[in-house]
Structures are given as structure tokens and as C-alpha cells.
Amino acid sequence: MHAESIPWYWRALDFEKLARDFPPPPDYFRTTFRMSRDELRALQEQRFLQTMRRGWEIAFFQRHWRDAGMEPGDIRGLDDLGKVPPYDVHHIRDSIERNPPFGDFMGISPSDGKRMPLVLQTSGGTTGLPRPMLYAPQDRETMAIMGGRRFALHGMRPGDLVLVTYALGLSNGAFAPREAMWHYCGAVPVMTGGGATTPTRRQIEIAKAWGVNVILGFPSYLRHMALVARDEMKIDPRSLGIRLIGTHLGMEDRRKIEDLWGAPCFDAYGTHESGMMAAECQHQSGMHVQEDAFILEIADPESGKILPEGGKGTIYITTLYKYGAPQIRFNVNDSSAFVPGTCPCGGTLRRLDRIFGRNDNMVKLRGVNVFPEAVGAVVAEDSRTNGEFFCFVDRVGEADSDEMTVMVEVTDPAADRAAVKADLERRMKEVLGVRVTVGPTAKGALDPYTGISQTSKIKRLLDRRKQSR
């Protein structure tokens, strides 16, 4: 007989209260989404102070804040937010190294599973072990509400059948939308995962046979999928009846994907630690921030100074709902800006512009900052390519000159590669402000570098300057 009591999930939360605090759709559109700025500010004040109190219970924040000379009670409200020292992923890695294997930044550990149900997912993890993250019931369920709001903003409806092509595995990418959809959207998730879990041709067969009408995925895989359908299976992706696409555009041009699929494509922004922070409404004019659950700031990446509205800089995240691993001025290193003015939809929540790139992915090329994402946007414009690209950065010659070579896949074997090279090199110079070399190659040749057919964590850059040093 098992005598120990088990913390049942359905008892872990007051679900009615949660829905009042963080209204799911459709209530969301009558409440939080249209709240006056004053009312919203008052709500944020209260949740921010609660988050600061929680922060002082967690060893990581105690250390980080005390090192900066902060004492409990110093931060008396949102007006003091700028006094809280920011931190980034290096601080989190340091926390994990000091206190393996989970770090001391979460304030919970797996043994807390005795008193509350916990679930573990990770970051994507490009180098070394992925970073683990534990979610308490309050965290996980609020994240699901936030995901549900995202999908409802995009126009997802109860009864929609949704193909989820994010990687299935340790990372949160596919699991979070699954919970969001079936808990708070009425839509039915179809968890095919990425190409490594369900081959792309099979994904298309399933979409066709079952009448899938919504797809979620990253732009490059959405493009890859449409081209496999059109060119290899002779199925026009537009004939599949896809009604809408949820993605993370970054610098990609949505029109190409919309043309291929014959469906509108909506941008959204989230991370595995924070959940879904912002999403586009029908007007596709910036992503509404879920400001009852987050405060986002845009800071100058060098000085840390908060920028005026419209200024382009790095995002600082403060969560207003989390118990496990709250984030308080976390510098996530993604580059964006706020969209000034109001949205025609009538929503009062601020909008985030596209994500211009990751600051830690940024390459300094002869004094010019280059994001691989911006390179990708130029490649995707050219219909002689399939949008696939990979950047190599090298230090060459006696002058130690920094050079970037952008390999691109040319779809048509008969295409004039010299012309593709010349045209793209000219266009890149215009857009990036610095000269790069373009190397056209055959369709599929870059797969071993990018991993497009296998994973949704696609690589776009190899900086060989670091290896040669």
C-alpha cells in the first residue's frame, strides 16, 4: 500500500480564481485586452510587488541583489523597477554550475514534487546540456492560458485541427501549445513534431487525410513543408484548406509563406522560461504584450539604459505570474522595439515589433552588426532560392579581415548561379550595409549544417573565427 499522500493536480489550483486573475479567451477580449492603462498599471503594481517578495525567497536573487547593494524593501513599486539589476543567461549558467544540476534560481526543486505537481522541460540547448526548468502548477496553467490567448488572437476557433510541427522532446516548444490549445482554446492538437519525429511527406498526408486546418511551426520548416508538398508530392499546399498559420517570423517576410499556403501567417513571441509573452491580432501590426503577466522593457544592449518608445534594443523580461523561477529584469538578449501608437483592433495592450534577432547571434563584421536573421530575410525574397541559407564567418588573409560567406540553396538546377550570386550580393550590401560573399549551392546541400529536415532548432551560423583562435 502506498501511504504517502500525492499532490493531485486538480487540487493544486483554484481554477476559478485563476481564470478571474488571468482571464482565458473569450473573456480575455472583454477584460484584460481592453483594460484602461491606469487599471492595468494598478494591477501590475500589485503583481510586481508580489513577484519581488517571491524573489527575496530565492537564493539566486538574494545573492544578485545584495551584490548590487539592494535590501528588501528598497523597491517600493514599479517606479523603482530601473533600480533592480538586470541579469542574463550567463548568471543562470553560473547558478547551475554553483548548485548542480538545477541551480538556485528557481526556488523549487524536484523534491518539492512531494507538495505540488511539477513538470520539467528545457531550453533548446545549442551547446552542452539543455538548461532545465521546473514548472509549478500556477506557472504551467497560467502559461497555458497565455498560449490560449495567443491562438485566439490569431483567429483559432474551437474545433480547429492543429498540426504542431515544433520539436517533440525535452524542450517546451511543442508541449506548451498543446496544453494551451486543449485547455483554453477548444482546438485539437495533432502532435506530429518536427521532421525527425514524423517525416515531412507523412505530415502532409496526415494534414490532407484528417482535414487539418491550422499549422504551427517555424518559418523555414513551413516553407520546407510547402515545397515538399508542391514539388515532390505534386500536392498544391493551397488546396489543403489551411486557414491560418502560427509562427515566429523574426526577420522573415510573411508574404512568401502566406503565398505558398494561401493562409494568413501570425507572429508570436515566447520563451521556454516565460511562456507566450506577445502575439499578433488579425491586423498583423505588432505583437500585443500580455501585460497582466509581463513587464517588458527595451534597453540599450551596451549601456542598459531604457530606450524611449520605438527605440530598438534588447528585451528585459519581468514575469508577474510565476512562482517557480520568476524572472525579474532578465535580459533575454532578443532584439526588438515597441510599436508606437494604438492598434486598429481596439486592444489597449502595447505591441512589440518583430524580433530583429538574437544579440548573442549577432556578428560584428568590419564594424557592422549583422544578424543572420536579416540575411535570411534577403534570401527568402529571392524566388530562385528556397529560402535556405547558412552563414560562415572567417578571419582571412594577412590583414585578418573578417569575411562572411552566405551559402544559399538554388531550387532550379537550370538557374544561372552567377546571376543569383551577383544579385544577392548586391541586395545584401544594400540591406546589411556590409559586403558578404554569396555561394549558391544545390537544394538540400545545406541540410547537414542547418538540420532543417531533422529539428526545429535550426542553425544558421558558424563563426569560425572563434575556432581558429
**153 belongs to the binding site for Zn ion (CB under 5 A):** no
Q: Which is nearer to Zn ion, 256 or 288 (CB)?
A: 288
Cβ–Cβ < 8 Å for 407, 389: yes
Residue 59's alpha-carbon distances to 63, 98, 159, 328, in angstroms, are 6, 11, 45, 14
Q: Which is nearer to Zn ion, 225 or 287 (CB)?
A: 287
* Beta carbon of residue 289, minimum distance to Zn ion (angstroms, whole number): 11
* Beta carbon of residue 152, minimum distance to Zn ion (angstroms, whole number): 12
* Beta carbon of residue 343, minimum distance to Zn ion (angstroms, whole number): 3
* Beta carbon of residue 345, minimum distance to Zn ion (angstroms, whole number): 3
* Beta carbon of residue 288, minimum distance to Zn ion (angstroms, whole number): 6
How many CA atoms does the CB half-sphere of 405 hold within 13 Å? 11
* Beta carbon of residue 342, minimum distance to Zn ion (angstroms, whole number): 8
Q: Which is nearer to Zn ion, 206 or 345 (CB)?
A: 345
Query: Applying CB under 5 A, which part among 157-165, 319-327, 331-339, 347-355 lies near Zn ion?
Result: 347-355
**343 belongs to the binding site for Zn ion (CB under 5 A):** yes
CA distance linking residue 51 with residue 142, whole number of Å = 15
The interface with Zn ion within residues 64-93 (CB under 5 A) comprises: none
Q: Which is nearer to Zn ion, 86 or 347 (CB)?
A: 347
One of 116, 119, 188, 345 touching Zn ion (CB under 5 A): 345
- Which positions from 270 to 289 touch Zn ion by CB under 5 A, shown as an x/- string? -----------x-x------
* Beta carbon of residue 213, minimum distance to Zn ion (angstroms, whole number): 23
* Beta carbon of residue 45, minimum distance to Zn ion (angstroms, whole number): 25
Q: Which is nearer to Zn ion, 37 or 426 (CB)?
A: 37
Per-residue HEC secondary structure of the chain comes to CCCCCCCCHHHCCCHHHHHHHCCCCCHHHHCHHHCCHHHHHHHHHHHHHHHHHHHHCCHHHHHHHHHCCCCCCCCCCHHHHHHCCCECHHHHHHHHHHCCCCCCCCCCCHHHHHCCCCEEEECCCCCCCCCEEEECHHHHHHHHHHHHHHHHHHCCCCCCEEEECCCCCCECCCHHHHHHHHHHCCCEEECCCCCCCCCHHHHHHHHHHHCCCEEECCHHHHHHHHHHHHHHCCCCHHHHCCCEEEECCCCCCHHHHHHHHCCCEEEEEEECCCEEEEEECCCCCCEEECCCCEEEEEECCCCCCECCCCCCEEEEEEECCCCCCCCEEEEEEEEECEECCCCCCCCCCCEECCCCEEHHHCEEECCEEECHHHHHHHHHHCCCEEEEEEEEEEEECCCCEEEEEEEEEECCCCCCHHHHHHHHHHHHHHHHCCCCEEEEEECCCCHHHHCCCCCCCCCCEEECHHHHC
Q: Which is nearer to Zn ion, 91 or 149 (CB)?
A: 149
Q: Which is nearer to Zn ion, 343 or 404 (CB)?
A: 343
Query: Applying CB under 5 A, which part among 30-38, 198-206, 221-229, 346-354 lies near Zn ion?
Result: 346-354
Count of residues touching Zn ion (by CB under 5 A): 5
Q: Which is nearer to Zn ion, 154 or 256 (CB)?
A: 154
- Which positions from 175 to 214 touch Zn ion by CB under 5 A, shown as an x/- string? ----------------------------------------
**347 belongs to the binding site for Zn ion (CB under 5 A):** yes
Q: Which is nearer to Zn ion, 285 or 441 (CB)?
A: 285
Q: Which is nearer to Zn ion, 349 or 379 (CB)?
A: 349
* Beta carbon of residue 284, minimum distance to Zn ion (angstroms, whole number): 9
- Which positions from 301 to 340 touch Zn ion by CB under 5 A, shown as an x/- string? ----------------------------------------
Give contact residues for Zn ion (rule: CB under 5 A): 281, 283, 343, 345, 347
